[in-house]
Amino acid sequence: GAGVSQTPSNKVTEKGKYVELRCDPISGHTALYWYRQSLGQGPEFLIYFQGTGAADDSGLPNDRFFAVRPEGSVSTLKIQRTERGDSAVYLCASSLSHSTDTQYFGPGTRLTVL
Amino acid sequence: GENVEQHPSTLSVQEGDSAVIKCTYSDSASNYFPWYKQELGKGPQLIIDIRSNVGEKKDQRIAVTLNKTAKHFSLHITETQPEDSAVYFCAASIKQAGTALIFGKGTTLSVSS
């Protein structure tokens, strides 16, 4: 079956611009997570959705980062006034429910801020 | 909060040898410990996981052991093959519901034929 998909696969933008990154979770998965992976590091948690609501956004680094999941399926991570330090691979994962541990990851979006 | 340490950062073995990667965690409340394999340009892929009520789990050439008292867990790969070459990450969950994962920094495994 289809896994987690993310678009675009690569995004190059200029410092100060706004970007949106999209995640399509596995069909039927109610829990969705965003992580950020810098070069040579493990993924770092950003935000977790259960259904439409953000159940835990403690990993968002600052108020330039925002994520939505209006219909409980597709999610969009939004970054305002991008900075060079935002350059990383942004990973999305989904799991069947909040009580199911296994998280399945998408291929990621590589964001480069020039 | 939870902290996960992973060792070694790089590991080179000959094809057919075994490989062992070790992780320690700090939060005794953690109860779920997955291992992911990540190939270049791809997202992490779950290869095996273990829950805190189990001490060992095996799936073909891959096994994971957990020592709750010492707060460490290990990945064992036997009969390594060149296609096992990748970056491996351990992780631990910080909440009872097993939500956000805290990852180690990864181990780059190279298997030479």
- pLDDT band, very low/low/confident/very high, at B24 (cuts 50, 70, 90): very high
- Nearest chain A residue (CA) to B108: A40
Q: Touching check for B103 and chain A: CB below 8 Å? A: yes
pLDDT, greater one: A42 or A99: A42
Check pLDDT > 70 for residue B1: yes
- Mean pLDDT on A79-96: 97
Q: Touching check for B106 and chain A: CB below 8 Å? A: yes
Single-letter amino acid, residue B106: G
Count Cβ atoms within 10 A of the Cβ of residue A77 and give its class: 0-12 exposed, 13-18 middle, 19 or more buried. Answer: buried
Distance CA A84, CA A88 (A): 9
Compute the nearest-CA separation of B32 from chain A (Å).
7
pLDDT tens digits for B78-111?
999 999 999 999 999 865 554 689 999 999 999 9
Cβ-Cβ contacts under 8 Å for B36 (sequence gap 6 or more): A105, B44, B45, B46, B47, B88, B89, B91, B103
pLDDT tens digits for A22-77?
999 999 999 999 999 999 999 999 999 988 988 889 999 999 999 999 999 999 99
Compute the nearest-CA separation of A32 from chain B (Å).
10
With residues binned 3-state (H G I as helix, E B as strand, rest as coil), the percentages for chain B, rounded to 5, are: 5, 55, 40
Q: A40 and B43: CB-CB below 8 Å?
A: no
Taking every pair of C-alpha atoms in chain B, what is the biggest distance, in angstroms? 42
